[in-house]
Structure 1
Amino acid sequence: MTDSGVLHEKWSQDPEYRAAHENLRADFEVAMTVIAARARAGLSQAELAERMGTTQSAIARLEGGRHWPSRRTLERLAAATGTRVVFKLVDPTGTAV
């Protein structure tokens, strides 16, 4: 396990840490999805940025989870990576509604 994984395990015992982590879950999921789409397409951040008509730093912000993308940005990302955007809502167990 990585050092960050060990720390996460340790800190997860703290209810405040768990609540803060849960509050950021959607941000992490979006960031990981952006990274996965780019990797699957075999693109660098700069190459993806060029295809999307943006900058490498904008892609880094998306992948860092510090920026919530608009629907238009997600559509440009999908077009640039050969994927498609799917929106869904799930209940607390993760089952689609």
Structure 2
Amino acid sequence: MDDLTYQPIKHDHQEFLRNAMESKEFKEGYDALEPKYTLIRELLAARKRSGMTQDAVASKIGTTKSAISRLEACGKHTPSITTLRKYAEAVGCDLIIKLEPKKSAEA
């Protein structure tokens, strides 16, 4: 086993997505996950702007670092508005929720 060396596999994520989006099923699934990934990006960007660590946010909210990690991963659990409001306050933001009309298929 001493002769094993690390050989990274080349991966171009943008190219992967372009190819995968040709599948209707993949595109539908990917599009369905967009709100979840938008929330993740917003949470991470807000915490980064605040300069806070997950530990610091957790301390300010009164929870654990692992709870903040789960929140920022948006896994199986869907956070409550109360939790999102506390997170927003901790990182110096206002929580704004809005409903937008669906984009028409003709656009």
TM class, shorter-chain normalised?
Answer: 0.7 to 0.9
Aligned-residue CA RMSD in angstroms? 1.4
Letter in 2 for 1:92: K
Alignment of 1:29-68 (within 5 A): 29-66=38-75, 67-68=77-78
User: Secondary structure at the residue paired with 1:50?
Assistant: helix
CA change 1:26–1:79 in 2 (3 A) is same
Q: Which of the numbers 70, 77, 91 marks the counterpart of 2:87?
A: 77
Instruction: Indicate the residue corresponding to 1:12 in structure 2.
Output: 21
Could you say which structure has the larger radius of gyration?
2
More helix by share: 1
Mapped contact 1:27–1:68 kept (Cα < 8 A): no
Q: Which structure's relative contact order is higher, taking Cα pairs within 8 Å and 6+ residues apart?
A: 1
Structure 2: give runs of 5+ residues left out of the alignment. 1-10
Mapped partners of 2:14, 2:28: distance in 1: 17
Q: Identity over aligned residues, as a percent?
A: 32
CA change 1:4–1:57 in 2 (3 A) is farther
Superposition misfits of 4+ residues, deviation over 6 angstroms = none
